[in-house]
Amino acid sequence: MAVLALASCGKKEQDLKPITAVSFSDVRINDDFWSQRLSVHLGETIPLCIDQIENQTGRIRNFENAAKGEGEHSGIFFDDSDVYKALEGMAYSYQISKDPFIMAKCDEWIDKFAAAQQPDGYLNTYYILTGLDKRWTDIDKHEMYCAGHMIEAAVAYYKASGKRKLLDVSEKMVAHMMSVFGPDKRHWVPGHEEIELALVKLFEVTGKKEYLDFAAWLLDQRGHGYGAYVGRDEKYWKEHYQDEFPVRELSRISGHAVRAMYLYCGMADVAAYTGDTQLIDALNRLWDHVVMRNMYITGGIGQSARNEGITQDYDLPNKEAYCETCASVGMVFWNQRMFQFTGDGKYADVVERSLYNGTLAGVSLSGRLFFYVNPLESDGNHHRQRWYGCACCPSQICRFIPSIGSYIYSTSKEGLWVNQYIGNSAKIEVKGQDVKLKLESQMPVDGHVMLTLGLGKSLKTDVRLRIPAWCKDYTIAINGQIVSVPEDKGYAVLYRKWSDGDQVEMILDMPVELVAADPRVKQNVGKRAIQRGALVYCLEEVDNPVDFDNLSITENADFSLERLNLKEGFGYPLQRITATTPTQTLRFVPYLAWDNRAPGKMKVWIPLSE
């Protein structure tokens, strides 16, 4: 495929992004857990999303009607975004599978998008069908949000196929927006962030610096009174949209959780290219506030259904927890970006926690049912659905799962970073030299990892292996010889001259742990949760049918592991934990796997008894 040249955006004040993630397109996942996830995604999730968009809802029909200039708009005003996110996931899946049906479907949809685009470049089916005279009058109508998801889909499609059609449509829409908004034009505060990070992706693939500049301008619109809140509770909505303060002054997460995640991603992306250290300072303050005071043990965020977001520090209700699937995915996106600034393992730890718990719980093991909300306790009436009227979470899962390979490796001037232990083979460039990697792992159920390096010639470099925060003890051997190595920010640093066939074996201790919450979390006082490795566990009534509401755990419980056998032929390597106390036996399953069998009650936090 043709590659567009990146234009220089000038010398940075400092190199704020010294670490680069290796794209999933350079990685072939081959372990038991994630290989099956990807297979189910391709065979079940993508066809389901296509069927919902084409046959069960009016989402694709909105584009067809917009192209004709007649007919009603069905659904919610931001439904275009679901189509774009699904297409992004299809493009990613095509890069892995090369399935011609997927590419043909992408082409078919993109033809409909292009046909619906207006002569001035505007594309949003809601306003095309309900009145173009009302466009750009309400910051809450998600026009730039939908455009951002179209851009992300366009970049993914271009990278997968080399075809520019959707990229051209996106550039025309951006040209229209820039003709209306910008310095010496209209002010605008997008009610739902997304456009900012998307514009940076468009800059990266086209080299056109005006897109980066527009993203930076949009960030700087926030917190200066430019948002329109006539007839609304101004304080509530400013907080909801992250419009209370200028972005460089932010220190606390507030408002809508997904909006906040996308804003922080946009801030990180702009800072990486502009050298804006004030944005990074703000992100560091925000990270502390999010993770230390407002994150659930599952890596989810957003305590309240009222605002789909944040309430107050250390308020972490279990049954009422919102923890939108999109917000957990947003935590993965944001923490991956934060890692690339510093190489600090604490960010990769959050990626892992949010990935395996808050995110994966959002889709059934069958790939056919979805959670929008992910509580940590249920009375038995909370279940996944095939689709939602607001279907941001199913389409989010559609685009996220096939990109999972992007979170495994990174490179820098120091060398190679191994961030997530997902079995794979890869060919990447380290210090200007091609390196073949084979990583054998059975995470998340086993802590034994083997990394084999294939080299055409010897290479002196770092190989940095993340030591997860949950691991208190580990051993590392090089070619069978146990070695002692230094640690740096949560990574074991192996520096040497590597030769072809060298092997690094790592054994991460993965005991079952009883976890206590911060004592300021009043909802979990006197309770404990079960965690093993990256996985948070929960009690389900189907495994504990007797007196479920009165079950408790003791500090000295005996734990044992067994294979978790699930219905419908799921072959995922998951384990059930049995906790034996003097008075009772409790059976825990991974939180990501709950609500895949008989309906019933569930809880993560269990009362502690003497």
373, 301 Cβ separation under 8 angstroms: no
Residue pointed to by tokens 């607001």:
390
Backbone angles phi, psi at 404, to 5 degrees: -60, -30
Tokens of 239: 């907080």
Q: What is the DSSP string of 12-77?
A: -SS-S---EEPPGGGEEE-SHHHHHHHHHIIIIIHHHHHHIIIIISSHHHHHHHHHHT-S---S-T
- Cβ proximity of 496 and 460 under 8 Å: yes
- DSSP assignment of 252-298 equals S--SBHHHHHHHHHHHHHHHHHH--HHHHHHHHHHHHHHHHHSB-TT
Determine whether 308 is an active site residue: yes
171 annotated active-site: no
Q: Using CA atoms, how far apart are residues 349 and 336, in angstroms rounded to an integer?
A: 10
φ and ψ at residue 464, rounded to 5 degrees: -105, 120
Task: Tokens 């190989």: give the residue.
Answer: 463
Over the Cα atoms of the chain, what is R_g? 24
Of 392, 393, 471, 538, the active-site residue reads 392
Residue 2 CB coordination number (10 Å)? 7
3-state secondary structure of 452: strand
How would DSSP label each residue in 339-357? Answer: HHHH--HHHHHHHHHIIII
Q: What is the DSSP letter of 6?
A: P
Please state the separation of Cα 282 from the chain's center in Å: 21
Q: What secondary structure letter does DSSP report for 358?
A: I
Q: Which structure tokens are listed for 266?
A: 């946009």
Which one from 308, 324, 377, 414 is the annotated catalytic residue?
Answer: 308
Q: Can you tell me the distance from the alpha carbon of 280 to that of 285, in angstroms, rounded to the nearest whole number?
A: 9
Convert 101-147 into a string of H (helix), E (strand) and C (coil).
HHHHHHHHHHHHHHHHCCCCCCCCHHHHHHCHHHCCCCHHHCHHHHH
529, β-bridge pairs? 515
Q: Which residues, including other chains, have CB under 8 Å from residue 94's CB and lie 6 or more apart?
A: 102, 103, 106, 160, 161
Closest CA to 255 of 296, 289, 211: 289
Annotated catalytic sites, by residue? 308, 392
